[in-house]
Amino acid sequence: MKKKENLEPVLLNKKTFWERLRDEKYLQFMAICGVVWMLIFNYAPMYGILIAFKKNYFVTTPLFSMKFLSGKTTPWMDHGGFGHFLKFFQDKEFIPVMTNTLGISLLKLAICFPIPIVFALLLNEVRNQRFKKVVQTISYLPHFLSWVVLGGLLTKWMSESGLFNEILVNLGLIEKGKTYLAYPQYFWPIVVISDLWKEMGWNAIIYLAAIAGIDQEMYEAARVDGASRFRQIISITLPSIAGTITILFILQVGGLLNSNFDQTFVLWNQLNSERSTVIDIYTYNVAMRSARYSYSSAIGLFKSVVAFILLFITNQVTKKINDTSLF
């Protein structure tokens, strides 16, 4: 009769939680620093949201006090604290401000989002590596320039005697130059085109990095089957980077109410304010020029809530379409 073999599992030398923590102390220290940073600079300031529900908050009023919370120093707003939100919706500037904000953002989404993808696909097909690096470097260099610098350049170039007008006059397209930033109808095209020029190369880097991670054996198999370059892009490249495109699209839609304050602010003036006053500019004017801090905080909170709703809806839609999402 055969003896039964000892089938008892061999117990591995498992480390306890504290032992693992000790072994990874440097990694854990960096993680803890990141969490502390977020708590101090991201979550703690959210306490200031209460300002949006106060009638008239002044900067001299202490936030961290029982008098502030009880409403003795700064009374709570009427309509259950939502009075400022109702005022914003009823403000005569609400429709123009939202129209400008959504108009510029939707144009950027329709133009500035897909063009870097196309640029990355075309740049990936370039076989001359030296030429490819030169084009890539030239295209993403404007990203490192501040909008303060670019705003001054654009204002100078588009003045009546600027570079842009000189080119058009020499080509015979116009007889006399004009200051384009003084005309409201030109503001949206200027903002969209300048944003595309500044960020196209930088955004393309993300897609080029995703393309670099594609298995090259897939392209070799496609070439053996006689697939053209265009067919390889459609059947291999685009499906492989679809996840990256989807994530960036979700973030872009979530920021529809963010019309790039820096860019808009440096190009804004009283002459083009009809088409340039977006929600960020309006909030700035209300807060910094009129000292209506509670009202401006309510507008900022409204923008954040809408951004979260757009982000959540877009995330759920893309999750059902191609099973890619942020959460």
Q: Find the mean pLDDT for residues 113-142.
A: 92
**Burial class for 76, CB neighbours closer than 10 Å (0-12, 13-18, 19+):** middle
pLDDT at 13: 58
pLDDT tens-digit profile of 137-193? Answer: 999 999 999 999 999 999 999 998 889 999 989 888 888 889 999 999 999 999 999
pLDDT tens-digit profile of 231-265? Answer: 999 999 999 999 999 999 999 999 999 878 999 99
Residue 176: helix, strand or coil by DSSP? coil
For residues 140 and 145, give the distance between their C-alpha atoms in angstroms, rounded to a whole number. Answer: 10
Give Cβ neighbours of residue 152 (< 8 Å, ≥ 6 apart): 266
Place of tokens 């000790």: 22
Residue 67 has pLDDT above 50, yes or no: yes
- Please report the domains of the chain, with CATH numbers, ordered by start residue: 83-144+187-322 (1.10.3720.10)
pLDDT tens-digit profile of 4-58? Answer: 455 455 445 577 878 887 888 888 889 899 999 999 988 888 888 888 888 888 7
Residue 1 has pLDDT above 50, yes or no: no
What percent of the chain stands above pLDDT 90? 59
β-sheet bridge partners, residue 76: 54
Q: What is the pTM of this model?
A: 0.84
For residues 182 and 274, give the distance between their C-alpha atoms in angstroms, rounded to a whole number. Answer: 11
Give Cβ neighbours of residue 80 (< 8 Å, ≥ 6 apart): none
pLDDT tens-digit profile of 294-308? Answer: 999 999 999 999 999
Burial 136-175 (b: 16+ CB within 10 A, else e): beebbebeeeebeebbeebbeebbeebebbeeeeeeeeee
- Spatial CA neighbour of 252 closest among 203, 187, 298, 296: 203
pLDDT at 59: 73
